[in-house]
Amino acid sequence: MSLLGRAGHDPAARESGYAAHRAGVARLLESYRAIPPGAVVRLAKKTSNLFRARAATTAPGLDVSGLGQVIAVDPVARTADVAGMTTYEDLVAATLPYGLAPLVVPQLKTITLGGAVTGLGIESSSFRNGLPHESVLEMDILTGSGEIITATPDGAHAELFHGFPNSYGTLGYSVRLKIELEPVQPYVALRHLRFHDLRALESELARIVTERSHDGERVDYLDGVVFTAEESYLTLGRQTDEPGPVSDYTGMDIYYRSLQHADGVKRDRLTIHDYLWRWDTDWFWCSRAFGTQNPKIRRFWPKAYRRSSFYWKLVALDRKYHIGDRLEARKGNPPQERVVQDIEVPVQHTADFVEWFLREIPIEPIWLCPLRLRAVDGAPATDEDRPWPLYPLEPQRTYVNVGFWSAVPSDQGKPEGAANRAIEKVVSEFDGHKSLYSDSYYGEAEFAQLYGGATYTELKTRYDPDQRLLNLYAKAVQRK
């Protein structure tokens, strides 16, 4: 176990963790002061899990190099103090030795805790644990004015605490987060349920979310995959300490292909570690774009490079040199429109949206992930005690996240982003929202109505009075 991993019960290791964090904060503040007045404040990050283009800048960025560690784990209180730029890969590595994990672990190893809170995250525990920001107890935030403040649900900065999720660094950057952890068992027993009809899947998904069981077995994790309108699956996970054989999808076998079967229920087992990272090896199914799923190529593709962080590097090369569009042009095809999105619709519109999507947008498979705002101490969330104004989901209502990540031929006779614009329109018609990590095309008034409006403006005025940070519309839509 690493030094940080021992920090839960070793006072010296704990103090070492906090000392390293204080040094990282000092470098962060020094880098803030080095940014010229009037220049936009940005992170000096080499990597990102965003699919939005970023404008080039010559101004120095914030030095966050010292903010990538788990500061301390308290296995008794089931909490962790975590620096904002810590990846979930490192966070999980520090908590699993205690039999603990974050309440929601997003799918990709390089997603940071701070990123998942300010930019939202989701996974198969979200139907019972909500979104990552709902398990945050307090945050130290560097605001646009260069001040580090501590925000809690009911303190002097409670408005910022609740307005921070979905602000994407436009209200400040999280420096430290204290989060809740939950106990986990060593294994996850899986059941893959096959459906031939999307409305039957929608009905069963809604029932499982409410009852948290299926055929007498508890359900701890729940997500799904749609291959076609006639072939879709729900995957039900149950934590267990029962020993036995487990599958390995980090080698030649591919996880999402393991879901497929003719009828009924297919069972499988994974370690809790491999379950949490089951999607990362092949970036869901997106690794097929690089040939990684071809057995002849996969056999010689180094295991160290079968992970989302490496695929991101390949995507960056494509963006820089337009490799994909050049290949399409050689075939006489138009450039591709990137359609990389996650949207949420109320559960009763799941089949409606997916049926529309399969008709209009030639992308498959599609990921499904149900979520509800978290119930705290057994009491369902209410508008009064769990407000998240920049991504206003209704308490006690089930939503389904639909994720699709690919590209379609662009229509030269239509405006830029025609497919994405159509998706935004239909999502709004179904009373849904979309995440802002990728391309968006909303008008300013509609955007304000969907993502915080006057509340966001008030927070921006209070915590970034000199507009040192981009505003949310400029960052998400205008892509400045």
- The tens digit of pLDDT for each residue in 247-293 reads 999 999 999 999 999 988 999 999 999 999 999 999 999 999 899 99
Q: Which tops the pLDDT comparison, 38 or 221?
A: 221
Beta bridge partners of 400: 345, 370
Is residue 348 assigned to a domain? Answer: yes
Segment 174-179 shows an average pLDDT of 98
CATH of the domain at 39: 3.30.465.10
- pTM for the full model? 0.93
Segment 113-118 shows an average pLDDT of 96
Q: Which band of pLDDT confidence, cut at 50, 70 and 90, is reported for residue 5?
A: very low
**Which alpha helices (H) appear in 5-157, and where do they start and end?**
11-34, 88-95, 113-119, 126-129
Q: Which band of pLDDT confidence, cut at 50, 70 and 90, is reported for residue 50?
A: low
CATH of the domain at 350: 3.30.70
- The tens digit of pLDDT for each residue in 54-74 reads 555 556 789 999 999 999 999
Alpha carbon distances (Å) from 258 to 165, 192, 252: 34, 9, 12
Is residue 427 assigned to a domain? Answer: yes
On the question of pLDDT at 3 being above 80, the answer is no
What tokens appear for 136 in the block?
């945050």
Is residue 288 assigned to a domain? Answer: no
Is residue 423 assigned to a domain? Answer: yes
Segment 2-31 shows an average pLDDT of 77
Domain boundary among 159, 183, 207: 183
Is residue 36 assigned to a domain? Answer: yes
Q: How far apart are CA 117 and CA 66, in angstroms?
A: 19
Q: How many domains does the chain have?
A: 2
Q: Which band of pLDDT confidence, cut at 50, 70 and 90, is reported for residue 150?
A: very high
- Cα 394 off chain centre by: 20
- The tens digit of pLDDT for each residue in 17-27 reads 899 999 999 99
Is residue 147 assigned to a domain? Answer: yes
Which positions ≥6 away from 449 have C-beta within 8 Å? none
Query: Domain range for residue 57?
Result: 4-183
Q: How far apart are CA 360 and CA 423, in angstroms?
A: 9
At residue 162, the pLDDT reads 96
Is residue 144 assigned to a domain? Answer: yes
Q: Which band of pLDDT confidence, cut at 50, 70 and 90, is reported for residue 124?
A: very high
At residue 336, the pLDDT reads 87
Segment 172-201 shows an average pLDDT of 98
